[in-house]
Structure 1
Amino acid sequence: MKAFFFRVALAALALPLSTAATAASVNQTLPSRVEQALKANKIGRDALSVVMLPLNGNGTPTIVNADVSVNPASTMKLVTTYAALELLGPNHQWKTEFYADGPLENGVLNGNLYLKGGGDPKLNMEKLWLLLRDLRANGVQKITGDLVLDRSHFVHPDLPAFDDDGGDQNKPFLVEPDSLLVNLKALRFIARADAGKVNIAVEPPIESVRIDNRVQVLKGGKCPAPDVRYNPVKELNGVTVVVTGRLTEGCSAQTYLALLDHAHYAAGAVRAIWKELGGSIAGEDRVANVPKGARLLARAYSPDLVEVIRDINKYSNNTMARQLFLSLGAQFRNEADVDDAMAAQRVIRQWLAKKGITASQLVMENGSGLSRAERISAREMATLLQAAWRSPYAAEFISSMPLAAVDGTMRKRLRNTEVAGKAHIKTGTLNTVRAIAGYSRDDEGNTWAVVAILNHDRPWGASAILDQVLVSLYNQPRSQSTAQR
């Protein structure tokens, strides 16, 4: 397999310090709270990289292990989403279209129906339903030919599959990008025990997904943690899900799985909704490009990029981030680019160069951080955040990140602390990585760019260590955080 990475080696960009600055003007030690948390968790200080830069005050920067090449996990999404904001624009949209290659007479399309994907990261079931409603409103009721999927928008790289823990490859966060990504390829299984039996429903109701229900019903009472297990058995024409376990009367449980490939999921979802709308497709499902001369029947647009990056950063959506990364490549691809990942790497490299940003440690594979190959240094990430603070789209970028103790992946962290509601922080988690990056305030209202990345074989308790970085930043000594007046 091939994986195309890039390393950007440019002239060094100084941090926001005077060229005459000495080591005394930079704090090169960790806050005492952080040192204590590291010691309590038996993790050496060399495992942690920290950079804290004042953005609108004259506080003293903290720079510790800042130039070490580290795996940033999902904080890499900040590089991808910031680049997309400036390169594609905050109102960028993706489109998905239906075409026909035959005449439409009295509600009957005598030919094939083509569904052309444009790389939309947020083509959910509601949007697909509305698109099919538009198709129906344009007079189509029956299709005599095939349902043809055009998945040619992206030129996909040949990347290794990610397997962080050797676990279930059907987990939705592992779904790979696609030109025709429908509903993040997720199947929702809902089990409910009523009237002495367990009913199991699947959304969307794709015909090739079959249920073998073996769940036992327990007598009613309080609903304990559900014990319902889904064991998919893939077959030639679909998948059978053997459902086992026990469920208490009057209780319910649900889970999400990604069991089908992109083509089967997209076709199955279209057929399920089209059938509910009273339509029919007589032919088969297949993949091919829309032919020249085909007639456009209906088109749907995605939400603006600003809304998409909010989903990516607030909830750390890997699939949408990878979709966005490839969209950058597809937008700026040239003849020298082998695939859209290579094109995205090239255009981000050029974008960084125009900003004068050094990123010699930066390695991007898929732009989501769901990778063992991706690398950056804490200084490079902090420099990027500093540049974003000055961007015309700073407000859109910052608001896309989780708000401490309020929402997204930070909603349960830093509650009952002074930092609650005062920090927009992107988190990152892999088996050997814990990371935070974003913007936080100190107790005088000054804003800082903050990056803390911990790489360790056993990062147990590391989230609490990173939280102490933010608490310590908030409680900066006043002599170090007095705002400029």
Structure 2
Amino acid sequence: MITSLRPLLLAGLLLPLAFSSHAAPVNTSLSPKVQQALKTNKLQESALSLVMLPLDGPGAATVYNADVSVNPASTMKLVTTYAALELLGPTYQWKTEFYTDGALSNGVLNGNLYLKGGGDPKLNMEKLWLLMRDLRANGVRTITGDLVLDRSHFVQPNLPAFNDDGGDENKPFLVKPDSLLVNLKALRFVARNDGGKVSVSVEPPIASIRIDNQVKAVASKQCSGDVRYNPVQQADGMSVVVSGQLGDGCNSQTYLSLLDHPTYAAGAVRAIWNELGGTIAGRDRIESVPKSARLLARAFSPDLVEVIRDINKYSNNTMAQQLFLSIGARFRTDADGDDARAAQRVIRQWMAKKGITSPHLVMENGSGLSRAERVSTREMAMLLQAAWKSPYAAEFISSMPLVGMDGTMRKRLKGTALRGEGHIKTGTLNTVRAIAGFTRDSNGNTWAVSAILNDPKPWGAASILDQVLLDVYRQPKLAGSTAQVP
């Protein structure tokens, strides 16, 4: 054991030097205020791993419990999105295409219609509508053959199901990635009480989703009525029993993920095509596009920089997993087996080229929605330090939530001097609270911060992490720190 620990002890001594090319003071203990915050929340100091690192000005770095393997929750998205920026490029786009193996004559497509997914994380209903509008503009009205879905772009890993609280499995944030991900597979249910009559609708209007409206209209103007949505699987589709009560002039809405990817994608295509006045005579099936098929229409996603903004600002798990698999699909070799393993390999190689040693890094799906994923706060801080020097630093930093202003940080520290001073990614699981990103101190200097709490009961621990950010901000005032442009 002593022999096996020796490399780790040496690494612990040497790694602090990786933070800076010159000697700098390093704190190895927590501040009194952070200690008190931990005590107030009945958490041990050992539950917290922390690195606070000055990037462009003076200051003493804090390195505490930094070489422990911890679950980072959604701060893992920073590893995935920064790697994607440099490995795929900030202007990378995904494509979605329609093909046919038939001939078009007088508005009739005599053959099958193939929809080929390219892993687009942001293929929403509007984009799909525009793509299908192109089909109509090209003269297609009636399709005599089948609707064929090509979901072969990703080689999917076989990963364990994740449900943090063991509750509703239909939550949209639990949607798994897919080569043909449409609208994040979300169904939006809306109940409205207009003049004592309750109506319930669903978007998109997929034919296999039927609504059993049992909501009672009440005369009360209080819009706190309890409306419940209970899906019931049936042989020919899904029935959603909507019950409860709703006050006059009120509405209630919820998002559910009830269908598998092929059923949702095909249902969305048919719903839009029907609205556009078209028909598809055949059935739905899954198959790769034949090499002889002819391209009918193509749509491109927004650039990668826009996609990572959605991922980091709003901590979108499904989009992060799509991005992770996209990295794998781009660099996959036969030896990898699947796109998750390919992404893991490529990201490790990329980090090594940057001089970032990562013995603790474990990436399962790249989103942090995992019990297996691991990192150390030192590794995360070194990654942030590298990102600060990247040509895509501005794009990466701006993808994170602004403290007290937007995303998952919009309600935190909004009444403090830190409002708008930091770009911080948050992470939350039942046993994890985490932050990582960039924040400025009172002198206008920027710091990299990684703080992760792993504990069976981390409730209220967000206040501890907020105190970490306040500690960074409250640096001693520097003489002459307001220099003017000559």
Task: Name the TM-score, length of structure 2 as normaliser.
Answer: 0.95
Is the Cα–Cα contact under 8 Å of residues 443 and 478 in structure 2 kept in the other structure? Answer: no
The letter of the residue matching 2:143 is: I
Q: Separation in 2 of the partners of 1:400 and 1:149?
A: 32
1:207-218 equivalences in 2 (<5 Å): 207-218=207-218
Matched, 1:126 2:126: yes
Match of 1:328 in 2: 327
1:159 corresponds in structure 2 to: 159
> CA separation of 1:216/1:368 partners in 2, compared to 1, >3 Å: closer, same or farther?
same
CA distance in 1, matches of 2:199, 2:218: 14
Secondary structure (helix, strand or coil) at the match of 2:69 reads coil
Where does 1:177-326 land on structure 2 (aligned, <5 Å)?
177-224=177-224, 226-326=225-325
Distance 1:482 1:193, change over 3 A: same
1:4-83 correspondence to structure 2 within 5 Å: 13=15, 14-17=17-20, 25-83=25-83
The CA distance in 2 between the partners of 1:481 and 1:287, in whole Å, is: 67
What secondary structure is seen at the aligned counterpart in 2 of 1:202? strand
* In 2: Cα distance, 1:241 partner to 1:91 partner: 41
The letter for the 2-side match of 1:433 is V
> In 2, are the aligned partners of 1:60 and 1:481 still within 8 Å (CA)?
no
Task: Answer whether contact 1:58 1:481 (CA < 8 A) is retained.
Answer: no
Are residues 1:100 and 2:103 paired? no
- For 2:205 and 2:339, how far apart are their aligned partners in 1? 33
Structure 2 counterpart of 1:421: 420
**Kept in 2: contact 1:57–1:483 (CA 8 A):** no
Q: Which amino acid aligns with 1:350?
A: Q
Distance in structure 1 (CA, Å) of the matches to 2:73 and 2:146: 42
**CA shift digits 1:197-227 (9 cap, x unpaired):** 2100000000000011111111132322x41
Change beyond 3 A, Cα 1:211–1:317: same
Amino acid at match of 1:254: Q
Q: 2:355 matched to 1:356?
A: yes
2:439 equivalent in structure 1? 440
| Gap runs ≥5 in structure 1 | 1-9
What whole-Å deviation, never above 9, does each CA across 1:32-89 have from its counterpart, x for those lacking one?
2211111111111110011000000121101111111100000000000000000000
Do the aligned partners of 2:443 and 2:475 also contact (CA within 8 Å) in 1?
A: no
How far is the alpha carbon of 1:479 from its aligned partner?
A: 7.0
Give the residue type in structure 1 aligned to 2:440. R
Alignment of 1:170 with 2:170, yes or no, is: yes
Relative to structure 1, is the Cα distance of residues 450 and 482 closer, same or farther in structure 2, using a 3 angstrom cutoff? Answer: farther
Answer yes or no: is 1:343 the counterpart of 2:346: no
2:174 corresponds to which letter in structure 1? L
Work out the CA distance in 2 between the residues paired with 1:251 and 1:342. Answer: 49
Task: Quickly say closer, same or farther: Cα 1:310–1:18, change in 2 above 3 A.
Answer: closer
The DSSP-based 3-state class of the residue aligned with 2:29 is coil
1:264-310: CA deviation from partner (whole Å, max 9, x where unpaired) = 00000000000000000000001000011100000000000000000
- Structure 1 residues 15, 222: closer, same or farther in 2, change over 3 A? same
Give the secondary-structure state (helix, strand or coil) at the position aligned to 1:173: helix
Aligned equivalents of 1:201 and 1:234: distance in 2?
18
Separation in 2, partners of 1:298, 1:361? 45
Is the 1:59–1:481 Cα contact (8 Å) retained in structure 2? no
Which has the bigger relative contact order, CA under 8 A and spacing at least 6? Answer: 1
Question: Cα distance 1:280–1:349, how it changes in 2: closer, same or farther (>3 A)?
Answer: same
Is contact 1:405–1:412 with CA below 8 Å preserved after alignment? yes
Partner Cα distance (2:414, 2:347) in 1: 36
8 Å contact kept, 1:310–1:399: yes
Contact map agreement 1:442 1:481 (CA 8 A) in 2: no
Shift of 1:249: 1.2
Alpha-carbon distance in 2 for matches of 1:18, 1:274: 61
SS of residue paired to 1:15: helix
What TM-score do you get using the length of structure 1 for normalisation? 0.95
* Overall identity of the aligned pairs, in %: 73
Give the Å deviation of 1:483: 9.8
The structural deviation recorded for 1:477 is: 3.0
Separation in structure 1 between the aligned mates of residue 387 and residue 260 of structure 2, nearest angstrom: 37
TM-aligned CA distance change 1:39 to 1:318, over 3 Å: same
Name the amino acid aligned to 2:142: K
Shift of residue 386 of structure 1? 0.2
Q: Which residue does 1:7 correspond to in 2?
A: none
Q: Sort the Cα spacing of 1:60 and 1:221 in 2 relative to 1 into closer, same or farther, 3 A.
A: same
> Which deviates more, 188-197 or 318-327?
188-197
Residue ranges of structure 2 left out of the alignment (5+ in a row): 1-9
- Give the CA deviation at 1:337: 1.1
Give me the CA root mean square deviation. Answer: 1.7
Q: What residue identity is the alignment partner of 2:333?
A: N
